[in-house]
């Protein structure tokens, strides 16, 4: 009975995990397809976005979906978004970027669907993480090493003690300085345009509230900042 229960438990776990893995592989495959697909001719003149999306579905055979509720919540009127473009042999990813970027929109690919949504929504929901920064804000000092004198046997010389001096040229002695540099390295506009993202902290730690994709940028920025010390 125990063996049967164990087998059933393993099977249940397998079927629970399989859909997620399958969804991940579909997403990765569609991302690659979007990057590889080329559009031979693109001709739009003051064409509504909804009509452009209809054309894309036919031209590419891919599933496109406009997240209307998200756009409405962001105060974006779908009927006001029109496209004017004349392009030849352009990558689908490039075309989407050209068309959507000017309207502060983007794409989020999940499973086998390409969602057209707000730029903010493409980043995902914010999460909070704590980063230790005391290894960056520690006070750097300069000190004089002992003189390398060769003394005769039995003789000693008194050396004058030279105290350590704080390095005044070190710009990274406070948490505020670290935070500002991290913002610059990740892109100041990101933090200015998203009210629910934040960076705060002390000289010991830094708290970052931002989507996972931005947290990765913060981690890369932290490695750069640490190397400066």
201: Cα within 13 Å, side-chain hemisphere: 25
> With left for phi above 0 and alpha for psi between -120 and 50, is residue 27 left, alpha or beta?
alpha
User: Cα separation of 63 and 45, whole Å?
Assistant: 23
pLDDT band at 23 (very low <50, low <70, confident <90, very high): low
Cα separation, 188 vs 184, in Å, equals: 5
Domain boundaries defined on the chain? 34-122, 127-143+163-228
Mean pLDDT of the chain: 85
- Of 26, 25, 38, 29, which Cα lies nearest the Cα of 93? 38
Task: Using pLDDT thresholds of 50, 70 and 90, give the confidence band for residue 12.
Answer: very low
**Residues 147, 149, 153: CA angle, nearest 5 degrees:** 145
* pLDDT at 155 (0 to 100): 61
Helix (H) or strand (E) holding 199: strand 198-201
Instruction: Give yes or no for a contact between 107 and 31, defined as CB atoms under 8 angstroms apart.
Output: no
Which tokens is 214 given? 């931005």
Q: Cα–chain-centroid distance for residue 60?
A: 28
Contact 64, 117 (CB under 8 A): no
Per-residue model confidence (pLDDT) at position 7: 33
Q: Binning pLDDT at 50, 70 and 90, where does residue 221 land?
A: very high
Of 3.55.50.30, 2.60.120.1440, 2.170.150.70, 3.40.50.720, the CATH number of 34-122 is 3.55.50.30
125-166 residue pLDDT tens: 999 999 999 999 988 776 666 666 666 666 665 556 567 666
For the cut 50, the answer to whether the pLDDT of residue 13 exceeds it is: no
What DSSP designation does 79 have? G
């Amino acid at each position: 009975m125990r063996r049967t229960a164990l087998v059933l438990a393993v099977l249940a776990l397998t079927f629970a995990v399989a859909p997620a893995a399958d969804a991940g592989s579909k997403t990765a495959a569609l991302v690659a397809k979007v990057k590889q697909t080329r559009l031979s001719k693109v001709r739009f003149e003051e064409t509504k976005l909804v009509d452009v999306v209809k054309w894309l579905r036919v031209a590419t055979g891919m599933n496109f979906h406009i997240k209307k509720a998200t756009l409405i919540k962001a105060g974006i009127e779908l009927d006001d978004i029109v496209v004017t473009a004349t392009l030849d042999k352009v990558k689908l990813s490039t075309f989407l970027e050209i068309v959507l970027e000017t309207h502060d929109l983007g794409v989020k690919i999940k499973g086998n669907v390409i969602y057209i949504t707000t730029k903010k929504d493409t980043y995902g929901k914010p999460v909070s993480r704590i980063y230790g920064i005391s290894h960056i804000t520690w006070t750097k000092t300069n000190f004089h090493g002992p003189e390398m004198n060769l003394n005769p046997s039995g003789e000693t010389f008194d050396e004058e003690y030279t105290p350590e001096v704080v390095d005044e040229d070190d710009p990274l002695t406070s948490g505020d300085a670290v935070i500002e540099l991290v913002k610059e390295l990740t892109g100041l506009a990101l933090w200015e345009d998203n009210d629910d993202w934040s960076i705060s902290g002390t000289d010991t730690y830094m708290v970052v509230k931002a989507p996972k994709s931005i947290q990765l940028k913060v981690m890369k920025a932290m490695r750069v900042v640490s190397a400066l010390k």
